[in-house]
Chains A and B, each alone.
Chain A
Amino acid sequence: MESKPPTIQVRYCGGCNPEIDRSALVSRFVKIAEEGGFRVDVCDDSGADWLLLVNGCPRACLEEERPELATARRRVSVEGSHVGHQPVSENDLPGAVWKAFNALPALREGAVSNGRMVNPGDVESTFSGQVGDAP
Chain B
Amino acid sequence: MSMMTGKEYRESLRKLKPEVYFMGEKITDVVEEPMFAPHINTAAMTYELAHDPLHQEVTTATSHLTGNKINRFTHIHQSIDDLVKKIRMMRVLGQKTGTCFQRCVGYDALNALYAITYDMDAKLGTEYHERFKKFLTYIQENDLMSAGAMTDARGDRSLRPHQQANPDLYLHISERTDKGIVVNGAKAHITGAINSHEIIALPTRALGEEDRDFAVALAVPVDEPGIKLVFARQTNDMRRLDGTLDTGNPKYGSIGGEALIIFKDVFVPWERVFMAGEYQFAAPLVELFAGHHRSNYGGCKVGAADVVAGSSHWLADAHGIANASHIIDKLTEIVAMAETCWACSLACAYEGHKTPSGAYNINPLLANVTKLNITRMVYEWMRVAQDIAGGKIITLPSEEDLKHPEMGDLIAGFFAGKANVDVHQILKMLRLVENMSVGAGLPEAMHGAGSPAAQKIMIARRGAFDKKRELAETITGIRRDEAFERIVGTTEEDYLRSQQEKIKAEEVRICRRIIK
Using CB atoms and an 8 Å cutoff, list the residues of chain A in contact with chain B: 17-19, 57-60, 63-64, 79, 82, 85-87, 134-135
Query: What residues on A are CB-neighbors of B80 within 8 Å?
Result: 64
- Distance in angstroms from B79 CB to nearest chain A CB is 8
Q: B467–A85 contact, CB under 8 A? A: no
Could you list some 14 contacts between A and B, CB below 8 A? A19-B464, A19-B467, A57-B353, A58-B353, A58-B361, A59-B351, A79-B353, A85-B354, A85-B355, A85-B356, A86-B356, A87-B356, A134-B354, A135-B118
Interface of B is mostly: loop
User: What 0/1 pattern do residues 348 to 368 of B give for CB contact below 8 A with A?
Assistant: 000111111110010100000
Q: Are A59 and B355 in contact (CB under 8 A)?
A: no
- Report A64 CB to chain B, min CB distance, Å: 6
Question: What is the interface residue range for chain B against chain A?
Answer: 10 to 19
Complex Cα–Cα for A52 and B80 (A): 22
Tell me the minimal C-beta distance from B267 to chain A in angstroms.
Answer: 32
Q: Mark B336-358, 1 if CB is under 8 A from A, else 0.
A: 00000000000000011111111
Q: Which B residues are in CB contact (< 8 Å) with A86?
A: 356
Residues of B within 8 A of A18 (CB): 467
A85-B358, A135-B358 known; 5 other A-B pairs, CB under 8 Å? A64-B80, A85-B354, A85-B355, A85-B356, A135-B356
Tell me whether A58 and B354 are in contact in the complex, defined as CB-CB below 8 angstroms, given that A19-B464, A64-B80, A135-B118 are known contacts. Answer: yes
Given the contacts A18-B467, A19-B464, A135 and B357 also touching, CB distance less than 8 Å: yes
Contact at B356–A59, with CB atoms within 8 Å? no
B residues 398-448 touching A (CB-CB < 8 Å): none
Q: Name A20's closest neighbour in chain B (CB-CB).
A: B467
Check B354 against A60 for contact (C-beta < 8 Å): yes
Q: Across the interface, which residues of B come within 8 angstroms of A85, CB to CB?
A: 354-356, 358
**Residue of A at shortest CB range from B482?**
A23
Q: How far is the CA of A18 from the CA of B470 in the complex (A)?
A: 12
Report the 5 A-B pairs with minimum CB-CB distance, sorted nearest first: A134-B358, A58-B353, A59-B353, A85-B354, A85-B356
Which residue of chain A has its CB nearest to the CB of B363? A59
Cβ–Cβ < 8 Å partners of B363 in chain A = 59
Residues of A within 8 A of B118 (CB): 135
Bound-state CA distance A58–B351 (Å) is 9
- Chain B residues whose CB sits within 8 angstroms of the CB of A59 once the complex forms: 351-353, 363
Nearest CB on B from A97, distance (A): 17
- Quick one: closest B residue to A19, CB to CB? B464
Q: Shortest CB–CB separation between residue B109 and chain A, in angstroms?
A: 21
Taking CB as reference atom, which chain B residue is nearest A82? B356
Question: What residues of A have a CB within 8 angstroms of the CB of B354 in the complex?
Answer: 58, 60, 63, 79, 85, 134
Q: Which residues of B contact A134 (CB under 8 A)?
A: 354, 358
Query: CA A17 – CA B351 in complex, angstroms?
Result: 11
Q: Which chain B residues lie closer than 8 Å to A82 at the CB level?
A: 356
A14 shortest CB reach to chain B, Å = 13
Tell me the minimal C-beta distance from A110 to chain B in angstroms: 30
Residues in chain A near residue B351, CB distance under 8 A: 59
Give CA–CA (A87, B115) in the complex, Å: 13
| Inter-chain contacts of B353 with A (CB < 8 A) | 57-60, 79
Interface centre among B353, B355, B357, B467 (most CB of A within 10 A): B353
Q: Mark B112-141, 1 if CB is under 8 A from A, else 0.
A: 000000100000000000000000000000
Q: Bound state CA distance, A79 and B355, in angstroms? A: 10
- How far in angstroms is the closest Cβ of chain A from B468? 10
Residue of A nearest to B78 (CB): A134
Note all chain B residues with C-beta closer than 8 A to A135. 118, 356-358
Contacts of B356 in A (CB 8 A): 82, 85-87, 135
Q: CA A107 – CA B408 in complex, angstroms?
A: 86
Within 158-187 of B, Cβ neighbours of A (below 8 Å) are at: none
Bound Cα distance from A87 to B123, whole angstroms: 11
Q: Give B451 Cβ to nearest chain A Cβ, in Å.
A: 27
Whole-angstrom CA separation of A64 from B363 in the bound complex: 14
How many Å from the CB of B135 to the closest CB on chain A? Answer: 18
Most interface-central of B118, B354, B357, B363 (chain A CB within 10 A): B354
Please name the residue on chain A nearest to B123 by beta carbon: A87
A18 CA to B361 CA, complexed, in Å: 17
**CA gap between A35 and B363 in the complex, in Å:** 37
- Chain A residues near B361: list those with CB within 8 A: 58
Please, which residues of chain B bring their CB within 8 A of the CB of A79? 353-354
> How many whole Å from B364's CB to the nearest CB in chain A?
10
Q: How far is the CB of B217 from chain A (nearest CB, A)?
A: 20
In the assembled complex, the Cα of A38 lies from the Cα of B356 at a distance in Å of: 28
Bound complex: CA of A61 vs CA of B440, how far in Å? 40
> Closest approach, in angstroms, between the C-beta of A58 and any C-beta of chain B?
4
- Give the complex CA separation of A85 and B363 in angstroms: 15
A87 to B361 alpha-carbon distance, docked (Å): 14
Query: A79–B358 Cα gap in the complex (Å)?
Result: 14
A127 to B250, CA, bound (A): 61
Measured CB to CB, the closest approach of chain B to A37, in angstroms, equals: 28
Quick one: closest A residue to B464, CB to CB?
A19
CA distance A134 to B467 in the complex (A): 29
Q: Closest CB-CB distance, A56 to chain B, in whole Å? A: 10
Whole-angstrom distance between the alpha carbons of A79 and B356 in the complex? Answer: 11
Q: How far is the CA of A134 from the CA of B77 in the complex (A)?
A: 13
Q: How far does the Cβ of A32 sit from chain B's closest Cβ, in whole Å?
A: 22
Return chain A residues, CB-CB under 8 Å to B352.
Answer: 59
Shortest C-beta distance, B463 to chain A (Å), equals 11
Interface residues of B in 368-420 (CB under 8 A from A): none
